[in-house]
Structure formats: C-alpha cells, structure tokens
Amino acid sequence: MDNKIVNESLIAGKGWFPADVSTFGNYVDSLYSFILWVSVILFVAITIVVVTFVLKYRKRPGYVQPGGEHITHNTKLELAWTVPPLILCLFVFYWGFTGFLDMSVAPKNGEEIHVVGKKWIWQFEYKNGTKTLSEMVVPVNTPIILVMTSEDVLHSFYSPNMRIKRDVVPNRYTKIWFQATRTGNFQIFCTEFCGDGHSQMQGTIRVVSAEEYKDWLANSGSADDGLPLEKLGEKVYSAKGCVACHSIDGSAMVGPSWKGTWGTSRPMTGGGSVIMDENYVKESVNYPIAKVVQGYPPVMPSYKGLLSDREIDGVIAYLKTLK
Amino acid sequence: MSLPAVRTDYINATKGWKSWLTTLDHKRIGIMYLLFIAISFGLGGFFALALRMELLNPGKLLFTAKQYNQLFTLHGAVMVFLFIVPSIPASLGNFLLPLQIGAKDVAFPRMNLMSFYLYLFGAVFCVYSMVAGAADTGWTFYTPYSITTSTSVISMTLGAFILGFSSIFTGLNFIVTIHKMRAPGMTWFRMPLMVWALYATAIIQVLATPVLGITLLLLIIERVAGIGIFDPALGGDPVLFQHFFWFYSHPAVYIMILPAMGVMSELVTTFCKKNIFGYKMIAYSSLAIAIISFLVWGHHLFVSGQSDYAAMIFSLLTYLVAIPSAVKIFNWIATMYQGEIDLKAPFLYFLAFLFLFSIGGFTGIMLGSLSLDVYLHDTYFVVAHFHYVMMGGTVMAFLGGLHYWWPKMFGRMYSEGAAFVAWLFIMVGFNMVFFTQFLLGTKGMPRRYYSYLDQFQPLHAFSTSGTWVLTVGFLIMAFYLVESLLNGKQAPDNPWGGLTLEWTTQSPPITENFLDTPIVDCGPYEYDKVKV
C-alpha cells in the first residue's frame, strides 16, 4: 500500500517548510521565522537564568543561603515581564490577523473551481463542466478560488506548498483561494479525520502555464488517449482515488484488493455471488452499492460521469494484469 | 529521629478492603483515585506505544487503518477523561486540600466517595466501549462522522458524560471546602497556592463540564433517535458541535494545567527554601486564566469556516490568556533567586515543567496566530504542542507532586538515585518523541494519518524510538515506587522542610489529619521568618 503520488515539491524548500510556491508563502514563512527566533531568544534567556540560579544557589557543603527578608515583590520587574510580552503578543496577533484576512477575501477576477470532498477522494469541477478526480489543474499566476463542500463527513483541504487549509463541510460551502507562483506538482492532503481512508485521501495540484491550462481545459482528458489501456488503467488507479481503498498486493483495505480477482466468483453481501467480469466492473464503478463483496462496507462513492468509457476499459485491462 | 514502631494512621486505622470501599476519609479516596489514575495512565500509554509502533513505517505494520483509528481514539479518550482531567485534583488534591487548609476532611465526604464511584462507573462504560467495537472518532467525537460510524461511540460518550459528573462533584466539594473549612487564621491570602489553583480549577469544573455533558447527550440522542442536531443529513449543523465541544474542552485544558501550576508553586518554595515571589500575582493569575479560558474556544475552529471576525476575537483573547501563564513562569524563576536549591526528584520535575511548558507556550503563540494556524492546524505541530503542554506540563508537575507528597501519603521514602535515572529517561524520551513531531508538523505532516508519504519516515521512526526510552523511564519509576512501599525507609513527618500545614502532622497522617486544629498566623511560605 505505497503512496503512489509523491510530489517532489513537498521535500524541497528552504528551512523546515516545504517549497513556497504561492503568494501567501512569504507572509506565512516570515511570521513563523519571527515568532521562532523571538521564542528561541527568550527560551535561551530563561535557560541561562535558571541554570545560573541552580548552579549559584545550589545546596552544597559550604553554601549559606543569603539571609534577610526574602524579596517577594518588585513592581518594576513585574511590569517588565508583563507589559513587553503583552505588546509582543498583540503585535504577533495583528500580523497573523491581517494575513488571515487576505487569505479569506478572494480577488474578484479569480478562476473558480468547485471542490467536493467525499470518502476518500477529492473531486474538482471546472466552469465548463470538466470534472477531475484527485488532480486539480490550475494556471500559474492566477488567483484560484476554491468553493468547497462535502458529500458525507467533514474533510479539510490542505495544500502545504500553497500554505492554505480550510475545512470542507457537508451542507455548507467554504471558500479559500490561492495564487501559485510557479509550475509543478504539489501535494493535497485531507487534514480532518474522516475514517479508514483518511490518510489516503490525497491529491495533486498541477500548476501549468496559462496556455497549457487553456489547452487542457478545452480538450480535457484527451491527453490520455495515447496511452495503452493497461497503462491508462494503472494511471486511473493511482490518480483517481482507487488507491485509497483497493490494494494491488492482496491486502484487504477498506475495499477488496484487486489482486487475483479477475474472472473469479465473488461472494456478495446478502448472499449469492457474481463473476468478476467486464460488466461487473463497469457496474461497480457507476453503481458501487448495487453489488458489494461480502465482508466489506457499502461505502464506495459512485464514479458515474467521472470516468470516461475508455478509462473504465483501462481499469478492466489493468485488473486483468493483476494476477 | 526515633520513630515509634507502629503508629496509628489513616492507612492502618481500619482494616480490610470493605473499610476502603466505604471510607469517607478524603485521604483514602485520594489514594484510591491515585491507583485508578495510574492504571488509566498505563492503559493510555500502552495505546500510545501501540499506535506509535504502527507509525514506524508507512503502510501496514501491525494494525489495519480502522484499528489504528481506534487506538488513537482510545489513547486520547483514556488519557483525557480517565487520566489527566482527574489526575491532580482528584488524587493529590483530594489528599491534600483538607490537610493544607487545616481541616479534618472535605465539606461533603459522602459526595466525595460518590464522585469516586461515578469515576469508576464512567470508566466501566469506557472499557466496555473498548471491547465492544471501540470508537474510531478521535477523542473529539466530531460530527457527522461520530453519528455515522458503526463503532461504539455511545458507550464512550456516555462514559465521558458520567465522568463529567464525577468531576463536577469534586469541584463543588472543593469550592465549599475552601470557603467554609479553612483553619482559624487562614485568610484567603494565607492559603497555599496549590489551594488557589484547586479553587480556580473547581470553578471551571463546575461551570464548564455541564456543557460537555449536554453536548454528549445531544450526540447520543441524535444517534439513537435520529433527531437532527449536528448531522447535516438530518438538518443539523456539524460546526455547532465543534463550538459546543470546545466550549468545555478548551476550559478543560485549564482544568488540566491549573492544578499543575499549583503543584509548581509548592515545589519551588520548598526546594528553594524561599518565600514565593509575587504570591498575589500567582493567585490572581489562576483566576484570570480560569475566566479568560471560557472565551477562547474558537481558536480550535480557525479553519472550520466560522466567521472571520469571530476568529479575530478568539485569536486576540488567546494571546491574553498567554500572559498570566508567562507571569507564573517568571514568578517561579524569580523565587529561585537567592534560594537554597535542593535538586531532589520533585525539583527535577519542577525544572522539567519549566522547560517543556515554556516550549509548549511558545509554540502556542505560533498556533494562536491566525495565518500561521491555517498552515499548522491539524498537523503534527499541534500534536507536539499539546503534548508539550499536557505531558510536559501537567504530567511533569503531577510526577513532581507525587514524589513530593509520596512520603506524606505512604510514610515511606523512595530511592532518590533511581528517581534521577527515571527522570533522565523520561526527559530524553519525551523530547525524542515530541520535539520530532514539531519538525514533522512544520514539514506538513497531517495528524491522525495511518499511513504517510515515504519522506516522513525517518522522523516518524525516530519519534517512535523515543516512546521506548520513555517507557523504560516509567517502568523504572513504577519499580522503585512499589519497592518503596514494600521496603522503603520510614519517612519523617517533614522530609523536605516544607512549611505548609500538611508537613506539621505525622506521615502518614492520622484519620483526623491533625491532633489539634492548627491555628494559622502567617503566610504559607515564610522561610525568611521561620527556621525549619
């Protein structure tokens, strides 16, 4: 059960953060660095004072504790350690807040994409009706507005590289926007716990040039036509979310493994059995709840309208190779 | 010092297990709480070990995704509801509160025993949930997942609901006890700071816990009767649940940390032989934290889609609650100045708290910042942050308090050398486990992930190896503490030279606590006036 989608950009990047590829990156990263370094300085200062006290006033032979009345108040000192930290905190609050407003208010000229989260795939729909799964293609240097909702439980859309995150809530729309500053493939995670496939609910933001985006949108999906069916099926498996629930090595996940199932008789929930053939696969892609293999929960979302006939043929061809 | 061979004390005053189960003595109830809290800590720790083991590599090692989800849910639920909420108040607090204010018992001894039985009763439901298809929702029970999952959410939430009453009873009892039972001469500002901390805690327990109870009850009603409250499929609002839940659960983290801060004030004075710096500031800051803590719950919802202006106010208030905590840290450090610092085990845990809680605080500043929280929310950074605050803070103070009052509770001394070794293992192990998780979080690793990208593997493996070091530390501690009960040296009445009232009676105390009612004529920590 390897994670097939590895986006190199999550590894790269200066410091501890993944590569910064959006207009928010600089803002968030410098705020982080500021708090980090102030904290480090204060922590070192506290450590020096505590260690000095422990060494200097440690109970040991020959040490006599200074006598006299103990100091229990010092107004100046107490103001000094209350007021400056308060001012520092208010400053950090203001810095964090203004950036948050920028993240919340999307520019008017943005490209709108509808995002649907469901167990356990991301679905993207463009204005011209193009739908994709797990992969979101966006143009570089253009504000992208995501209007998001969920079909089942809470999810959360997280792109570390873009420095954005927002919960995806059923029966409600949430919005977030970003603007990518360079092309490449960037990771999407779900960060609100949503069940067994939560950690597999991943995806990719593919940032391309404006021209490439136009072409892609105009004849979406056709790029796959050149692939042989088996290869297309393998690609669909990892790119369209099948990987979240179906293994190809025989291990049971949320759904049954694909390995060695082709042509076999599959016991069904509620009795009876079905031969795993072309028609069963196609039916299961479009109407997954109709015939569920025994021992597995009826939770697969329908892919009706989300996979082309050729992509379903590809999945069938790929299944045949998994002996 | 010569001690008579056998003295009458609260432990040997009456015999037999029945005398324990029906006891009204706050000390015995505190000890029984301590036993079950220790068992809960062991259980929660075992779940933590198991789930960290699974995270040694991406993909399956020992458990399926569902089992892993159940493990982290059980770890969270057991640690929060059965261990850390009752930890200091119900065990150490129950034992100490009457002793520290010079009283014979708490105000309502029967209610105190009732609270203990409610704790056990609630625990039974939680354990039942473990064996009957453990809940897999996370300890936060977010809707609508918790409505739709087939696991036994109801018994777990019912357990938490009952445990809530146990907590309310303890809080109510403490408030009345502190108001009405103080020894003659013990004015409010002569109370030990531990008592102030328990008082502030009790206020939150009494005011916030009912909200959790109602919320969990609504969740159960929704699951059982299908009435739409939180589930959008039934016309409910899932974000409403988050508001309700955190309205309790944020103040609850102060139920967890305030008593720990009380313990810290006791430790620093006794082991530095110093009067506390800024007594009133520490006392007032406990109350300030208790009050402001009710108004910051929304900082758990910065990315939930709540109103941006609500988020702004919650962020601002979050920074305000940080200040009293920082003030306490500075006061404790100032108390060390010109002291006579004795590096005994309790003080080692004091130092551990000081450093670990500071790191927890600084990272809290990062998480409170709106635009930075968008990035760090629900990543391992948050996991690391709250373990630094809760384990690095509360658990360290709890261990410090346990070692400090151990001779008073059981009349036995433990091995100081073994305690140092255990402390070292715990400190090293803790930082291995959780500092690593800050790095994972800043790299974008989401929490509650059964599997993860290969690039995170080295850090995950290192974090997991830290849990083994941590385990060794706790095993050593369990060993020398049990050993001390069996063969430990008999403890003198005041082994550390403490000035608060519990050290003026014998170790362990008699059932009635004091031979004569103590008369108080000075503050609790006046080391400059009294010679021990």
What's the pLDDT tens digit per position in B164-205?
A: 999 999 999 999 999 999 999 999 999 999 999 999 999 999
C-alpha torsion angle, residues B368, B372, B375, B378 (rounded to 10): -10
Least CA distance to A11: which residue of chain B?
Answer: B455
What's the pLDDT at A4? 44
Asked if residue B4 is part of any domain, the answer here is no
Of A57, A66, A163, nearest to B336 by CB-CB distance is: A57
Q: Which long-range contacts (CB under 8 A, 24 or more apart) does B133-137 make?
A: B134/B70, B134/B73, B134/B74, B135/B70, B135/B73, B135/B74, B135/B77, B136/A195, B136/B66, B136/B69, B136/B70, B136/B73, B137/A193, B137/B73
Asked if residue A67 is part of any domain, the answer here is no
Q: Which of A182-191, A224-233, B33-42, B335-344 has the lowest mean pLDDT?
A: A224-233
**CA–CA distance, A316 with A238 (Å, rounded to integer):** 14
What's the pLDDT at B5? 59
Per-residue pLDDT averaged across B55-84, rounded? 92
What's the pLDDT at A1? 34
**CA–CA distance, A286 with A282 (Å, rounded to integer):** 6
Asked if residue A63 is part of any domain, the answer here is no
Asked if residue A18 is part of any domain, the answer here is no
User: Residue A183: which H helix or E strand, with range?
Assistant: none
Q: Is the domain of A216 the same as that of A234? A: no
pLDDT mean across residues, chain B: 93
**CA–CA distance, A321 with A281 (Å, rounded to integer):** 14
Of A90, A99, A254, nearest to B371 by CB-CB distance is: A99
Of B330, B333, B365, nearest to A35 by CB-CB distance is: B365
Residues B308 and B373: beta-carbon distance below 8 Å: no
Per-residue pLDDT averaged across B208-222, rounded? 91
Name every chain A residue with its beta carbon within 8 A of the beta carbon of B334: 71, 74, 77
Per-residue DSSP letter, B392 = I
Burial class (CB in 10 A: 0-12, 13-18, 19+), B272: buried
Asked if residue B454 is part of any domain, the answer here is yes
Name every chain A residue with its beta carbon within 8 A of the beta carbon of B337: 53, 57, 71
Asked if residue A15 is part of any domain, the answer here is no
Least CA distance to B236: which residue of chain A?
Answer: A171
Measure in Å the smallest separation between the Cα of A227 and chain B Cα atoms.
27
Per the structure, the complete domain to which residue B149 belongs is given by 25-504
Burial class (CB in 10 A: 0-12, 13-18, 19+), A293: middle
Tokens, residue B1: 């010092």
CA end-to-end span of chain B, whole Å? 15
Model pLDDT for residues A57-105, shown as the tens digit of each residue: 999 999 998 888 889 989 999 999 999 999 999 999 999 999 999 998 8
Model pLDDT for residues B482-518, shown as the tens digit of each residue: 999 999 999 999 999 999 999 999 999 999 999 999 9
- B328's CB contacts (< 8 A; 6+ apart) are B261, B264, B282, B285
**CA–CA distance, A300 with A282 (Å, rounded to integer):** 14
Model pLDDT for residues A260-288, shown as the tens digit of each residue: 888 888 888 888 888 888 888 888 888 88
Alpha helix (H) ranges present in B273-307?
A: 279-292
Is 70 exceeded by the pLDDT of residue B64? yes
Asked if residue B2 is part of any domain, the answer here is no
Q: Is the domain of A316 the same as that of A236? A: yes
**CA–CA distance, A75 with A81 (Å, rounded to integer):** 10
Model pLDDT for residues B374-405, shown as the tens digit of each residue: 999 999 999 999 999 999 999 999 999 999 99
What angle do the packed helices B26-54 and B457-487 form, to 10 degrees? 150
A194: domain CATH number is: 2.60.40.420
Residues B128 and B77: beta-carbon distance below 8 Å: no
Query: Which of B421, B394, B428, B395 minimizes the C-alpha distance to B480?
Result: B421
Q: Is the domain of A258 the same as that of A190? A: no
**CA–CA distance, B423 with B430 (Å, rounded to integer):** 10
Tokens, residue A160: 């570390």
Q: Is the domain of A81 the same as that of A125? A: no
**CA–CA distance, A74 with A51 (Å, rounded to integer):** 22
C-alpha torsion angle, residues B479, B481, B482, B486 (rounded to 10): 130
Please check whether residue A123 touches B, CB under 8 A: no
Measure in Å the smallest separation between the Cα of A19 and chain B Cα atoms.
10
Please check whether residue A101 touches B, CB under 8 A: yes
What's the pLDDT at A15? 63
Please check whether residue A140 touches B, CB under 8 A: no
What's the pLDDT at A129? 81
User: Residue B418: which H helix or E strand, with range?
Assistant: helix B416-442
Measure in Å the smallest separation between the Cα of B375 and chain A Cα atoms.
5
Is 70 exceeded by the pLDDT of residue B289? yes
The three-point CA angle B421-B425-B431 to 5° equals 145
Q: Is the domain of A117 the same as that of A96? A: no
User: Residue A118: which H helix or E strand, with range?
Assistant: strand A111-118
Q: Which of A27-31, A119-123, A305-309, B167-171 has the lowest mean pLDDT?
A: A305-309
Burial class (CB in 10 A: 0-12, 13-18, 19+), B5: exposed
Burial class (CB in 10 A: 0-12, 13-18, 19+), B6: exposed
Measure in Å the smallest separation between the Cα of B45 and chain A Cα atoms.
22
Asked if residue B409 is part of any domain, the answer here is yes
**CA–CA distance, A266 with A247 (Å, rounded to integer):** 17
ipTM: 0.92
What's the pLDDT at B531? 65
What's the pLDDT at A7? 58
Strands (E), B375-511: none
In percent, how much of chain A has pLDDT > 70?
93
Model pLDDT for residues B518-529, shown as the tens digit of each residue: 999 999 999 988
Is 90 exceeded by the pLDDT of residue B133? no
Least CA distance to B362: which residue of chain A?
Answer: A39
Tokens, residue B369: 């910042």
**CA–CA distance, B400 with B264 (Å, rounded to integer):** 8
DSSP lists the bridge partners of residue A125 as A114, A131
Q: For A136, phi and psi rounded to 5 degrees?
A: -110, 120
Tokens, residue A204: 């990719």
Burial class (CB in 10 A: 0-12, 13-18, 19+), A144: buried
Name every chain A residue with its beta carbon within 8 A of the beta carbon of B351: 50, 54
B528 contacts A68? CB cut-off 8 A: yes
Q: Is the domain of A184 the same as that of A252? A: no
Asked if residue A129 is part of any domain, the answer here is yes
What's the pLDDT at A100? 93
In percent, how much of chain B has pLDDT > 70?
98
Name every chain A residue with its beta carbon within 8 A of the beta carbon of B134: none
Residues B266 and B191: beta-carbon distance below 8 Å: no
Per-residue DSSP letter, B456 = G
What's the pLDDT at A10? 62
Per the structure, the complete domain to which residue A30 belongs is given by 25-56+72-104
What's the pLDDT at A294? 85
- A44's CB contacts (< 8 A; 6+ apart) are none
Residues A124 and A131: beta-carbon distance below 8 Å: yes
**CA–CA distance, B68 with A197 (Å, rounded to integer):** 11
Please check whether residue A81 touches B, CB under 8 A: yes
Q: For B74, phi and psi rounded to 5 degrees?
A: -65, -40
**CA–CA distance, B296 with B104 (Å, rounded to integer):** 38
Torsion over CA: B269, B270, B271, B272 (sign): positive
**Strand ranges across the sheet with A143-150:** A131-133, A121-125, A111-118, A143-150, A174-179
Among the candidates A220, A239, A268, a domain finishes at A220
What's the pLDDT at A146? 96
Asked if residue B88 is part of any domain, the answer here is yes
A252: domain CATH number is: 1.10.760.10
Model pLDDT for residues A38-57, shown as the tens digit of each residue: 999 999 999 999 999 999 99
Query: Omega before B210 cis (within 30°)?
Result: no
C-alpha torsion angle, residues B10, B11, B16, B21 (rounded to 10): 70
B340 contacts A196? CB cut-off 8 A: no
Q: Is the domain of A176 the same as that of A133? A: yes
Name every chain B residue with its beta carbon within 8 A of the beta carbon of A76: none
Per-residue pLDDT averaged across B200-215, rounded? 93
Render the burial of B419-453: b for 16+ CB within 10 Å, e for the rest: beebbebbbebbbbbbbbbbbbbbbbbbbbbbbbb
Asked if residue A163 is part of any domain, the answer here is yes
Asked if residue B11 is part of any domain, the answer here is no
Domains held by chain A: number: 3
DSSP lists the bridge partners of residue B490 as B412
DSSP lists the bridge partners of residue A111 as A144
Of A57, A152, A192, nearest to B339 by CB-CB distance is: A57
Burial class (CB in 10 A: 0-12, 13-18, 19+), A41: exposed
Q: What is the DSSP string of B183-247?
A: PTT--GGGS-HHHHHHHHHHHHHHHHHHHHHHHHHHHHHHHHH---SS-GGGT--HHHHHHHHHH
Is 70 exceeded by the pLDDT of residue B532? no
A57 contacts B446? CB cut-off 8 A: no
Q: Is the domain of A118 the same as that of A214? A: yes
Measure in Å the smallest separation between the Cα of B92 and chain A Cα atoms.
27
Asked if residue B19 is part of any domain, the answer here is no
Of B144, B343, B372, nearest to A32 by CB-CB distance is: B372
Asked if residue A234 is part of any domain, the answer here is yes
Model pLDDT for residues A109-163, shown as the tens digit of each residue: 899 999 999 988 999 999 888 888 888 999 999 999 999 999 999 999 999 999 9
**CA–CA distance, A314 with A124 (Å, rounded to integer):** 21
What's the pLDDT at A323? 82
What's the pLDDT at A12? 52
What's the pLDDT at B1? 46
Please check whether residue A219 touches B, CB under 8 A: no
HSE (side-chain half, CA atoms, 13 Å) at A323 = 1
Q: Is the domain of A36 the same as that of A136? A: no
Of B239, B276, B340, nearest to A72 by CB-CB distance is: B276
**CA–CA distance, B391 with B372 (Å, rounded to integer):** 24
What's the pLDDT at B7? 81
What's the pLDDT at A130? 84
C-alpha distance from residue A140 to each of A98, A311, B344, B384 (Å)? 24, 28, 61, 35
A192 contacts B339? CB cut-off 8 A: no
Burial class (CB in 10 A: 0-12, 13-18, 19+), A63: exposed
Asked if residue B449 is part of any domain, the answer here is yes
What's the pLDDT at A3? 40
Domains held by chain B: number: 1
Per-residue pLDDT averaged across A7-36, rounded? 81
Maximum mean pLDDT: which of A267-281, B282-296, B355-369: B355-369
Q: Is the domain of A99 the same as that of A182? A: no
Tokens, residue B18: 């029945």
Per-residue pLDDT averaged across A211-227, rounded? 77
Measure in Å the smallest separation between the Cα of A190 and chain B Cα atoms.
8
Is 80 exceeded by the pLDDT of residue A222? no
Least CA distance to A3: which residue of chain B?
Answer: B453
Residues A13 and A19: beta-carbon distance below 8 Å: yes
**CA–CA distance, A231 with A311 (Å, rounded to integer):** 10
Name every chain B residue with its beta carbon within 8 A of the beta carbon of A253: 64-65
Model pLDDT for residues A157-192, shown as the tens digit of each residue: 999 999 999 999 998 899 999 999 999 999 999 999
Least CA distance to B61: which residue of chain A?
Answer: A1
Asked if residue A64 is part of any domain, the answer here is no
User: Is the pTM of the predicted complex or chain greater than 0.80?
Assistant: yes
A96 contacts B368? CB cut-off 8 A: yes
B113: domain CATH number is: 1.20.210.10
Per-residue pLDDT averaged across B108-122, rounded? 96
What's the pLDDT at A134? 86
For residue B214, which amino acid is it?
I
Is 90 exceeded by the pLDDT of residue A223? no
